Amino acid sequence: MLVDGQISGNPEVEISGVSEIQNGEMGTITFLGNQAYKKYMDNTIASAVIVSNENYLSGRDGIIVENPQLAMAKVLSMFFSDEYNSKGIHPKAVVDASSSIGNNVTIEAGAVVEAGVNIGDSTFIGANVYIGKNTKIGSRCKIYQNVVVYHNIFIGNKVIIHGSAVIGCDGYGFVKDKEQYFKIPQTGTVLIGNDVEIGANSAIDRATIGKTIIGNMTKLDNLVHVGHNVHIGKRCLITAQVGIAGSAKIGDDCILAGQAGVVPHIEIGPESIIAAKSGVTKSLSGGEMYGGYPARPIKEQHKRDAIYSEILNIRKKLNQLIQNSTKN
């Protein structure tokens, strides 16, 4: 079975699509992955529901799996197959004769591929993409419209880069010289591993010297900024509006929630979770959740928040006592 689950109810029910549980439609399958949506189970008219517990079905037709969200992802992939068909090189694309273009590659109108570029098999290059000199892009990649990839960048296989992202721009490096700033030449590169996804309008700076590295299977959301010489490990999830300053190191399997910030030259250990809007100002050992500014173990942060709230309540009561005593 596609989702490796157990059928409950009628195994012959016909499914022709997918719908949301709160907007279920006859003939479709939906899923219950978040208990906040359990309230819709009684009224959804979807023909089947993917759940983690048979009791949630209350007699409905469905499939019981360990991870409903993963199962639904597989079902969506079946109904909405992302089959790739090469369209070749558009006549209005500009491809330097010294570049190496693999088999079944699509390069859409307005794209510019500079000298010495190497593009692997079955890769898609969208309209108005710019790829700088001597950059190497692996096979089965998707570089969507208006992406800019600077010179001497290395991109692995099965990488997805969404619209208007910029890879390999200069890192933010300046040295003050009396009354002006001297720009530090940014001479390094960016190395992006396999199965990486980079969201729209994100920016990954090239290293000053050496490499900025994004590890295999790491996923960046929209509007993420990765500074020069940053090293991000494997299988990390970096959500929207996260900023990671230069030379920071992020271990494997880390999660950085929305608008979290990381100062330069620190290390975040593997399997760390950085809560939304937290500021990481010193190295963290990893293996737990951190929150606040400066970021600290989340339990400690919650205690501090509770103490602060209690102090505010005490202060309010004290002000009332002072006001009452003044009136008397």
The CA distances from residue 200 to 144, 184, 203, in Å, are 9, 28, 9
The three state secondary structure string of 47-77 is: CEEEECCHHHHCCCCEEECCCHHHHHHHHHH
The two tokens of residue 265 are 């030259």
Tell me if residue 135 falls in helix, strand or coil: coil
Question: Hunting for tokens 């409905």 — which residue is that?
Answer: 60
Annotation says 231 is catalytic: no
- Tokens 């990486």 belong to which residue? 196
Contact 229, 171 (CB under 8 A): yes
Who contacts 129 (Cβ-Cβ below 8 Å, separation ≥6)?
108, 111, 112, 143, 144, 145, 146, 147, 148, 149
First-to-last alpha carbon distance for the chain, in angstroms, is 79
Q: What value does the CA radius of gyration of the chain take, rounded to a whole number of Å?
A: 26
Contacts of 223 by beta carbon, 8 Å cutoff, 6+ apart? 199, 200, 201, 202, 240, 241
Q: Which of the following is catalytic: 151, 162, 225, 228?
A: 228
Query: Which residues are known catalytic residues?
Result: 228
